[in-house]
Structure 1
Amino acid sequence: MDMHLPASTSIDEIADGIYRIFTPVGPEVVPGGFSFNQYLIADDRPLLYHTGPRKLFPQVSEAIERVLPVSSLAYIGFSHVEADECGALNEFLDAAPCAVPLCSPVAAMVSINDIALRPARALAEGEVLDLGRHKLRLLATPHLPHGWECAMAFEETTRTLLCGDLFTQPGSSHAPLVESDILEPSETFRQQMDYFAHSPDTRLHLSRLSALQPTTLACMHGSAWRGNGAALLMQLADRVSPN
């Protein structure tokens, strides 16, 4: 994927103090088009969730600067170890001298404490990180949708679930926040090239996320979504783990 192609990166507030950073990728790069999202939590201890691929660092960092200095970031968080999740991790750690990686204990153990410029802050299961007005809780979700080290984060104040690759929507034109259906387009995309691990615990993990009763889903690809997140997560469970 040639990420040197021009892209227009935008930033929009999708919940109180939580911003979606959006970069579209045209069909000349990915058939049908695609998009990459990062989420910035602006607070006393700012957090960036997902870094985007390394080659998008200039655009993503410029978008952050419209809200706060990149150098003020305290945490660089992500769900699992992939280029779009943490490809620009070291670039951001270099630009933000006090920032540390934020991830699951497994991600820290098997990858991040070796490849990152600084050791990770590994959040234990259910541990809540105080960012100021926002409180971030980590939930380990191994193999949901893929990766032993996978985890997701729930911002308790706004009830926003940073749900990574769940509900990935194809295309390169997406509103920042929608209340329309995202399950059908994401399932159509998944069925073309299934990226779920389909582990025996898939339904269990989706049920745990549903129990949080999120009202905003911060998807990594496509629009963020607002509505009855608990019901939508269980609808997804019925599709990917029917038994």
Structure 2
Amino acid sequence: MTITNVSSGTNVHEVADGIYRINTGMDQIPGGFSFNQYLVIDDQPLLFHTGPRKMFPLVREAVESLMPVSRLQFVALSHFEADECGSLNDWLAAAPQSIPVCGRIAAMVSVNDVADRPARAMADGEALALGKHALKWLDAPHLPHGWETGYLMDTTTRTMFCGDLFTQGGTGAVALTESDILDASEAFRKTMDYFSHSTHAKMLLEKLARESPATLACMHGSAWRGDGANLLRALGDRLAEQ
């Protein structure tokens, strides 16, 4: 792990081959919280989630520690929310050739209106080639919230950029863990109640499980390595109990 900003504690850590977690811990809620972004370094680099607009200098500094920001080709988001894409236009300005990447619904209802350049709107199951890495878009409406929600699956490293799924409290000091995160994420979910309670949640989690991820790139808390299919199905079982 490399600290890129001493004041904020922003740090970077490689969680899979060519995939770097950028983490900043905050104290906005009791017990702390963290914001993670993921940078895929390849022929066409991609940043998944931008962080809130006011965090742009910190995240940019972290990206610059790994590669020139001007190389960035894609700025991807799971759903339209400040921590997902608050600094989207800042990134588009810093990397003039870059474009947003999101699902078709997000492009239609939000991104193409707000962003300074039109998005590449991904269909369910569509692939995006970066070079060594190939990313597959997976529609997941209302999982855990947002009609436009979707995720990216790197079929090369078996890394799933799983957005707000498995959100954990705390500052995310452990970059990558193989320990249980389900209980911690469920405790956080039950306190904050940020899930949409969609009747399709278990079906969508099964869809994600069939991708057999080996790493789950969580946006809040630690990234996780292990049998991702089993963990996603376990989450589906927990949701079905409520």
- CA deviations over 1:118-177 (Å, ceiling 9, x no partner): 000001110110000000000000000000000011000000000000000001142110
Kindly state the Cα deviation for residue 242 of structure 1 after the two structures are TM-superposed: 3.8
Q: How many residues align?
A: 236
Identify the range of structure 1 (194-203 vs 107-116) with the bigger mean alpha-carbon deviation.
194-203
Amino acid at match of 1:98: Q
Amino acid at match of 1:200: T
Give the Cα–Cα distance (whole angstroms) in 2 for the partners of residues 161 and 37 of structure 1: 14
Kindly state the Cα deviation for residue 78 of structure 1 after the two structures are TM-superposed: 0.8
- Name the residue aligned to 2:51: 52
Secondary structure of 1:241's aligned partner = helix
Give the Cα–Cα distance (whole angstroms) in 2 for the partners of residues 57 and 173 of structure 1: 19
Cα RMSD for the two superposed structures: 1.0
Alignment of 1:129-140 (within 5 A): 129-140=128-139
- Name the residue aligned to 1:3: none
Alignment of 1:1-243 (within 5 A): 7-26=8-27, 29-242=28-241
Q: Give the gaps of 5 or more residues in structure 1.
A: 1-5
Tell whether the 8 Å contact from 1:103 to 1:120 is kept in structure 2 after alignment: yes
Give the Cα–Cα distance (whole angstroms) in 2 for the partners of residues 213 and 242 of structure 1: 23
Identify the range of structure 1 (167-176 vs 219-228) with the bigger mean alpha-carbon deviation.
167-176
Give the Cα–Cα distance (whole angstroms) in 2 for the partners of residues 217 and 19 of structure 1: 12
Amino acid at match of 1:64: V
TM-score for the superposition, normalised by structure 1: 0.95
Kindly state the Cα deviation for residue 55 of structure 1 after the two structures are TM-superposed: 0.4
Identity %: 58
- CA deviations over 1:184-221 (Å, ceiling 9, x no partner): 01100110111111112111110000001000000000
Tell whether the 8 Å contact from 2:23 to 2:172 is kept in structure 1 after alignment: no
Give the Cα–Cα distance (whole angstroms) in 2 for the partners of residues 76 and 242 of structure 1: 36
Amino acid at match of 1:56: M
Tell whether the 8 Å contact from 2:21 to 2:39 is kept in structure 1 after alignment: yes
TM-score for the superposition, normalised by structure 2: 0.96
Tell whether the 8 Å contact from 1:198 to 1:241 is kept in structure 2 after alignment: no
Amino acid at match of 1:110: V
Give the Cα–Cα distance (whole angstroms) in 2 for the partners of residues 208 and 193 of structure 1: 25
Give the Cα–Cα distance (whole angstroms) in 1 for the partners of residues 172 and 136 of structure 2: 30
Give the Cα–Cα distance (whole angstroms) in 2 for the partners of residues 193 and 17 of structure 1: 33
Amino acid at match of 2:99: V
